[in-house]
Structure 1
């Protein structure tokens, strides 16, 4: 049954530089890459060698412990490099595109006419399976498990987040095809969370889904928050999640029988000259998106993703597998004398420390300066203001620090991943690395229970 869920806890961080609702075509990248480091808990095994020719959709590597999960090339071309890190860990497989390269052919069919096994086999073979994530733990879904439901959030409330309503505009039929395919993967329901402010109009006509509307500040758009308020996870429960733009890949696969990894990326932030959206492909170079589009002054930090959960990258790096946003903000490489003692009219604060709290709609140029170092972990109820879940986050983090598995279970580790507690880390007076601690706890749970 559909309903409107109002959330009061949370915080909208007002950063200047939101992308304008215009879509342009990015310059053609000279390389693309798939990075095994984008996937938690993955041990990759290579299927190609440097110098080999690959077609779009041809496997580059697979999961050592679940060989059915393939990771395929987003373009046709030549594997020019396989970069490794410490202990020969595979960091990225780089492909130089060839416009004339062929694409692998797959079955063209209406997923509603196929069996669940056929739909699953097609998604696995095409390499689109890694877009499905498993809760608990936020890892790639296991095709041998049966989820009780699949959840989609049709909007993102993170700072400068991309507008999925704009991204899917004109592709509603393809989106519906993808939804139909997902409905074959579960005996339960496919849930979609919509924005109550009307910013999810292009999702409201979807069929084979149960719609719920959410109203509130960030993290209301996080799929984990929505799961908690619709069908909370208990021990033994498994659900899958997927981003709206990734559903389009699945829809195109079944509609055309070919892989099309085209996606729309938001380029935003105070250091972007004219923030807007760009059409490119999965794994494109960051330089193809930002070159010639940044302001000329000062050092900047480029982030693949949003400022709360994204990854710091350089122009020579590549777009993250799950990312639909590139953010550019000033680097926090300067110190401010007695900054805490100023009125702070141009400073944003999660609390009401500065006079800027009198102007709630004002946007700010925020840099990466931490304004202090890590200090004692104080139990002061601060985190609870920013987490709209029935969870005690500080107690959970302390249970993780002492590796108390039973307490972790009791305190709700099955319901959260890094993005759900990212706002707590931002607002933390003690500068605790909340997301890192949480991932360590999740890894302990996986090691203990598999």
Structure 2
């Protein structure tokens, strides 16, 4: 039975440059890449060497501690390079596409007629398993686990977020097939979250999933918030999360027997000349998507993902594994003398510190300037305004800094990942790197508690 949840805490940051409902098909990428750094806790082991020939669906690397979890090539071609960092850490595996679109053949079948073991095997060998994340910890789901439930958020409430109703309007059949597969992976339920303000949603007719609606400001679209409201994670329990895009990938796999990782992303932000949607492929080169489409090349911040949780990238970097948008905003590499003392008629502040809060604009152009450095960390009650969960985020962060595992457990670390506290970091008066500290705490919990 579906339920509606109304959230009061949070914040909608209204940025200029949301993608218009127009679609551009990007040229076939010359190179694509898979980056192990996109997967927290992963220790990769190579399956190929440079100059190896691969098809779409061939393994490039695997998880050292869970070798059945494969990471496969999105295209056919040649392994151009394996880039490494300190201590020979694998940073990315680059594949040069040959344009032939050769695929590894997988089983074409109705998931409802398959066993859990058969579905799991196909997802593992195709390389789609890494799209499953587990709570707690926000790490790769383990195939051997039996999840209590599986959660999908059917909308994104973050700044400049893509419109899923537009992106997936032609993918409903594949999404339904994907949900059918998910329903065989758990003895619990598959939950699908929808925005309460949407009527006649394209997702309204989905079967084998419980549809719930959520209204209120960001982070209403975060799957972690939806889990907290619908069926919270308790100690010893595991739930899985997966994106709508990944569900479509799974559906295509079972419907066609091919690994089709084509996707539509939002190219958005105030520095984009004509914000729009772009059809590309998983792991595409960022430069191929943004070149010539921004206002001031060289003085902008390109972000793979959202402005709150995404990663700063350059034109020669690659689209993040889980990212559904590229955001481009001003770099903000300037200094404002006595900027804090100005009335700020045209500025935006989450704390309503400027006069602009009296006459708010519909949209703002915000840059990446931090407007100061890290300061003393004090308890202000500020974070709680932006987190619609029954936890105390400041005390949780302090428990992580103190490496107090018992306190971390008591204060709700099993329920959150970085994106859930992203607004807290944005609004933080002390400029604390909340998301980075939370990931450190989650890594400690993985090692100590498992």
SS of the residue aligned with 1:68?
coil
Structure 2: distance between partners of 1:425 and 1:171: 35
* Range moving further from structure 2, 268-277 or 348-357: 348-357
Question: After the TM superposition, which residues 190-229 of structure 1 pair with which residues of structure 2 at under 5 Å, given as runs?
Answer: 190-198=190-198, 201-229=201-229
What residue in structure 2 maps to residue 333 of structure 1? 333
* Range moving further from structure 2, 196-205 or 224-233: 196-205
What residue in structure 2 maps to residue 16 of structure 1? 16
SS of the residue aligned with 1:202?
coil
Q: CA deviation at 1:23?
A: 1.1
Structure 2: distance between partners of 1:17 and 1:397: 33
SS of the residue aligned with 2:396?
helix
* Residues 65 and 200 of structure 1, relative CA distance in 2, 3 Å threshold: farther
* Residues 358 and 298 of structure 1, relative CA distance in 2, 3 Å threshold: farther
SS of the residue aligned with 1:201?
coil
Question: After the TM superposition, which residues 336-355 of structure 1 pair with which residues of structure 2 at under 5 Å, given as runs?
Answer: 336-355=336-355
- Normalized against structure 2, the TM-score is what? 0.99
What residue in structure 2 maps to residue 83 of structure 1? 83
SS of the residue aligned with 2:29?
coil
What residue in structure 2 maps to residue 115 of structure 1? 115
2:378 is the counterpart of 1:378: yes
Structure 2: distance between partners of 1:297 and 1:287: 11
What residue in structure 2 maps to residue 290 of structure 1? 290
Structure 1: distance between partners of 2:177 and 2:266: 24
Q: CA deviation at 1:342?
A: 2.0
SS of the residue aligned with 2:211?
strand
Contact conserved, 2:75 with 2:102, CA < 8 A, in 1? Answer: no
What residue in structure 2 maps to residue 443 of structure 1? 443
Contact conserved, 1:194 with 1:200, CA < 8 A, in 2? Answer: no
2:128 is the counterpart of 1:128: yes
SS of the residue aligned with 2:82?
strand
SS of the residue aligned with 2:193?
strand
SS of the residue aligned with 1:124?
helix
2:26 is the counterpart of 1:26: yes
What residue in structure 1 maps to residue 410 of structure 2? 410
Q: CA deviation at 1:199?
A: 6.7
Structure 1: distance between partners of 2:163 and 2:20: 10
How large is the RMSD of aligned CA atoms in angstroms? 1.0
Structure 1: distance between partners of 2:210 and 2:191: 5
SS of the residue aligned with 2:69?
strand
Structure 2: distance between partners of 1:51 and 1:101: 18
* Range moving further from structure 2, 98-107 or 144-153: 98-107
- Normalized against structure 1, the TM-score is what? 0.99
Structure 2: distance between partners of 1:204 and 1:54: 39
Contact conserved, 1:164 with 1:245, CA < 8 A, in 2? Answer: no
What residue in structure 2 maps to residue 276 of structure 1? 276
Structure 2: distance between partners of 1:375 and 1:330: 24
Q: CA deviation at 1:297?
A: 6.5
What residue in structure 1 maps to residue 144 of structure 2? 144
Question: After the TM superposition, which residues 162-201 of structure 1 pair with which residues of structure 2 at under 5 Å, given as runs?
Answer: 162-198=162-198, 201=201
* Range moving further from structure 2, 21-30 or 129-138: 21-30
Structure 2: distance between partners of 1:297 and 1:336: 22
SS of the residue aligned with 2:157?
coil
For residues 43-63 of structure 1, give each alpha carbon's deviation from its aligned partner in whole angstroms, at most 9, with x where no partner exists: 000000000100000000000
Q: CA deviation at 1:298?
A: 6.3
Structure 1: distance between partners of 2:3 and 2:208: 16
Gaps of 5+ in 2: none
What residue in structure 1 maps to residue 434 of structure 2? 434
What residue in structure 2 maps to residue 51 of structure 1? 51
Question: After the TM superposition, which residues 353-392 of structure 1 pair with which residues of structure 2 at under 5 Å, given as runs?
Answer: 353-392=353-392
Contact conserved, 1:375 with 1:430, CA < 8 A, in 2? Answer: yes
Structure 1: distance between partners of 2:218 and 2:410: 25
What residue in structure 1 maps to residue 62 of structure 2? 62
Contact conserved, 2:141 with 2:240, CA < 8 A, in 1? Answer: yes
SS of the residue aligned with 1:280?
strand
SS of the residue aligned with 1:228?
helix
Structure 1: distance between partners of 2:290 and 2:97: 19
Structure 2: distance between partners of 1:249 and 1:199: 26
SS of the residue aligned with 2:226?
helix
2:73 is the counterpart of 1:73: yes
Structure 2: distance between partners of 1:297 and 1:178: 40
SS of the residue aligned with 2:267?
strand
Q: CA deviation at 1:22?
A: 1.1
What residue in structure 2 maps to residue 299 of structure 1? 299
For residues 103-162 of structure 1, give each alpha carbon's deviation from its aligned partner in whole angstroms, at most 9, with x where no partner exists: 100000000011111111111110000001000000110000000000000001111011
SS of the residue aligned with 1:277?
strand
Structure 2: distance between partners of 1:169 and 1:69: 30
* Residues 298 and 118 of structure 1, relative CA distance in 2, 3 Å threshold: closer
SS of the residue aligned with 1:391?
coil
Aligned residues: 450
What residue in structure 2 maps to residue 245 of structure 1? 245
Structure 2: distance between partners of 1:110 and 1:356: 56
